[in-house]
Structure 1
Amino acid sequence: MSERTRLTTVESVHESRSWLFTIEDEYGEEDEVILVPCENHVENGSTSSQPTAEDGVEAWINRCTHEAQRLDTGRGAAMRDGQLICPKHGSMFDTCSGYCDNGEAADTTLSSVDVTVDDGVVYLTDDDVSFAHEGDIDNGDDDDGPASTSHIGF
């Protein structure tokens, strides 16, 4: 590991349920990554809703394996019972392993990005990519909507 970039805290990811950021590969191509809670502990047969020191996060490319649908469109990812839900077809991916065992994306696994947690802080440690910025690829630079070539104003 040659370098690491501070992203956020485990606590922040667990509170917001996801954290979106953009990476850049060695060719300058951007991609989105989603940090999600990975709750490793179990109490009385079910996962506890309160994060502990044993809990962490995992980082996945923000794309369903079925049709390249974004899992987080910039407003947070849909999640239930430790699984990311694809908004298009409902396939569910385990937040800790990235594996999907149902729906259109069954028997596939999300592409991972290397992160490390050190004293509650999440760092990007993947040597194949670099941190571009927090948020989606557009980084919220959307204007008021699609451009129109029509002479009719709205």
Structure 2
Amino acid sequence: MSGYRLTTVETVRERGSWAFTAREGDADREVFLVPCADEPGGKTDAGATDGEDQPVRAWINRCTHEDQRLHREEVGAVTRGGSVVCPKHGSAFDTCEGSCDNGEAAGTTLRSIDVEVRDCAVFLTDDDLTYLYEGLPDDDGDDQGSASSSHLTF
């Protein structure tokens, strides 16, 4: 068993999401972790206390419809009913599968990143990525202040 230790499952659960930056080839990639709400012990299970029972998934931090961050430093990822919601158009991606069946991104799936939970900690196990640091790069303004066409309010 190998991999880079990222954070604890409890931290992801308490914050609702957790982001980091990694290197893939010559490019930096933003990645975020979310609890998988549809599995036993998932975020929707208020009684879950054991981190081993708290599955976590990792996704590239971009909406598949338009290049928008799903996890933002100031608010994290907005999750509702077992989905991560795009802050621009309101498309909802399943936290466990990454698939979207509504809105502008319907029929697409987020790119997954391999992670593993061991001893209540989350490890990056994706051979294509090298961990760089916790958090996201400074925002270059590409998606800040974008007018939302979603009916959802965050």
TM-score after normalising by structure 1: 0.81
- Residue 67 of structure 2 aligns to a residue in which SS? coil
Alignment of structure 1 residues 10-89 onto 2, 5 Å: 10-27=9-26, 29-39=27-37, 40-41=39-40, 47-51=44-48, 52=50, 53-75=52-74, 76-89=76-89
RMSD: 2.0
State how 1:100-115 maps to structure 2 within 5 Å: 100-115=100-115
Contact persistence 1:23–1:132 (CA under 8 A): yes
Contact 1:30 1:137 survives alignment (8 Å): no
Letter in 2 for 1:132: L
The structure having more radius of gyration, on CA atoms, is 1
Question: SS of the counterpart of 2:63?
Answer: coil
- Calculate percent identity across the aligned residue pairs: 54
SS in 2 for 1:108: coil
TM-score under structure 2 normalisation? 0.81
**Structure 2: runs of 5 or more not aligned:** 140-154
Contact 1:31–1:137 (CA<8 Å) still a contact in 2? no
Q: Structure 1: 5+ residue runs without aligned partners?
A: 141-154
